[in-house]
């Protein structure tokens, strides 16, 4: 479990110019060359501010500069540091020693703190911390124009790093799973013509155009679909009840037709497990819970309820 007394965001160089070196070598880089190493170690904010003002910095900016220098030098090993790079959140804890380098040395800052065990871009469960998958209330800190700042959303950050699910999200997922379970029963009670119509609506909303009559007396497929963007032709077979043997038989028929790029086999009440051959990426099987989840995702839950009411 990751805990932290303090949390800080650090921008690794102007426009991130030090970021590659910092991540590769497990370091925190920092500039502020106008504040000497000795002055920073002393950690007298008033003295640092006065020094910067005497160099032409305005009072407010000098005060913020002084606090950033003191944070970099004196926040302990229990401070969690984060940064954003390569569309990911990175986090690390740093050793207390600050190394002073020569002014202008590239591609690093003039002061460096070594991380304890490198920068990390995954949570404790090994899941990547992709920026697009994080709340804006956290990622907006990446737009901070200065170098170091407090992270207000520290509770959210620590929860994501520890891979702990938000209780609100957990409750919603449990409710969604319960809805999917009951939706399966509703789908199974549909008349076969309503079930075929439902599947037709799903494909229509997914960008497939039907180029054949719905159902009827076709021997091989219930639907023929065309995807204009990819120029694919797909066959769809809809069954209320079916077994693996039924699926295998239809795959053989589709192969014999030599017309289709994809085959979709849809069944709401399979007899046992039904799966596509592992080597056949062109065969898609929708059954049970997966089918119910698709219907919910497509916003067709109310449509199903109206048909079974």
More confident residue, 109 or 3: 3
List, for residues 118-146, the tens digit of each pLDDT value.
999 999 999 999 999 999 999 999 999 88
User: Angle at Cα 269 formed by Cα 265 and Cα 270, nearest 5°?
Assistant: 65
| Region at 134 (left for phi over 0; alpha for psi -120 to 50; beta for the rest) | beta
Helix (H, G, I), strand (E, B) or coil at 31: coil
Render the burial of 27-54: b for 16+ CB within 10 Å, e for the rest: bbbbbbeebeeebbeeeeeeebbebbbe
pTM over the 0.75 mark = no
Predicted local confidence at residue 217, as pLDDT? 44
49 near 67, Cβ under 8 Å? Answer: no
Q: How far apart are CA 130 and CA 169, in angstroms?
A: 18
Q: Smallest Cα–Cα separation from 289: which of 180, 156, 146?
A: 180
Q: How far apart are CA 173 and CA 36, in angstroms?
A: 54
Predicted local confidence at residue 104, as pLDDT? 54
List, for residues 224-266, the tens digit of each pLDDT value.
999 988 999 999 999 999 999 999 999 999 999 899 999 999 9
Q: What is the DSSP letter of 166?
A: P
* 22-27 contacts at long range (C-beta below 8 A, 24 or more positions apart): 22/83, 22/108, 22/119, 23/85, 23/90, 23/119, 26/92, 26/114, 26/115, 26/117, 26/118, 26/119, 27/108, 27/112, 27/113, 27/114, 27/115
Task: Take residue 227 and report the two structure tokens written for it.
Answer: 């995807």
> What mean pLDDT do residues 50-71 have?
92
> What mean pLDDT do residues 3-18 have?
88
Domains of the chain by range and CATH? 6-161 (no CATH), 168-308 (3.40.1350.10)
Helix (H, G, I), strand (E, B) or coil at 37: helix
Helix (H, G, I), strand (E, B) or coil at 234: strand
Alpha helices in 142-243 (DSSP H): 154-161, 167-188, 192-205
Predicted local confidence at residue 219, as pLDDT? 66
Predicted local confidence at residue 220, as pLDDT? 74
What average pLDDT does the chain have? 91
Task: Take residue 243 and report the two structure tokens written for it.
Answer: 């077994």
Predicted local confidence at residue 215, as pLDDT? 56
């Amino acid at each position: 479990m990751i805990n932290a007394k303090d949390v800080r965001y650090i921008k690794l160089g102007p426009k991130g110019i030090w970021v590659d070196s910092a991540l590769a070598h497990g370091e925190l880089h920092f500039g502020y060359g106008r504040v000497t190493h000795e002055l920073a170690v002393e950690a007298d904010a008033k003295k640092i501010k006065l020094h910067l003002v005497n160099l032409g910095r305005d009072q407010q900016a000098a005060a913020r500069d002084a606090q950033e220098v003191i944070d970099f030098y004196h926040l302990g090993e229990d401070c969690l540091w984060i940064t954003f790079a390569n569309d990911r959140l990175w986090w690390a804890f740093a050793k207390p020693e600050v190394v002073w380098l020569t002014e202008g040395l590239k591609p690093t800052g003039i002061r460096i703190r070594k991380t304890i065990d490198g920068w990390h871009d995954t949570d404790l469960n090994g899941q990547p911390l992709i920026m697009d998958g994080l709340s804006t209330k956290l990622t907006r800190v990446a737009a901070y124009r200065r170098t170091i700042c407090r992270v207000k959303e520290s509770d959210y950050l620590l929860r994501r790093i520890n891979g702990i699910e938000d209780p609100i999200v957990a409750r919603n997922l449990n409710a969604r799973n319960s809805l999917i379970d009951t939706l399966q029963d509703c789908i199974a009670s549909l008349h076969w013509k309503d079930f075929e119509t439902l599947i037709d609506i799903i494909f229509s909303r997914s960008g497939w155009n039907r180029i054949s009559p719905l159902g009827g007396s076709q021997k091989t497929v219930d639907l023929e679909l065309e995807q204009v963007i990819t120029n694919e032709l797909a066959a769809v077979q809809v069954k209320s009840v079916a077994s693996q043997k039924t699926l295998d038989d239809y795959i053989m028929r589709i192969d014999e037709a030599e017309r289709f790029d994809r085959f979709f086999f849809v069944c709401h009440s399979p007899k046992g497990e039904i799966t596509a051959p592992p080597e056949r990426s062109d065969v898609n099987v929708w059954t049970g819970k997966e089918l119910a989840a698709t219907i919910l995702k497509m916003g067709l839950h109310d449509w199903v309820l109206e048909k079974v009411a």
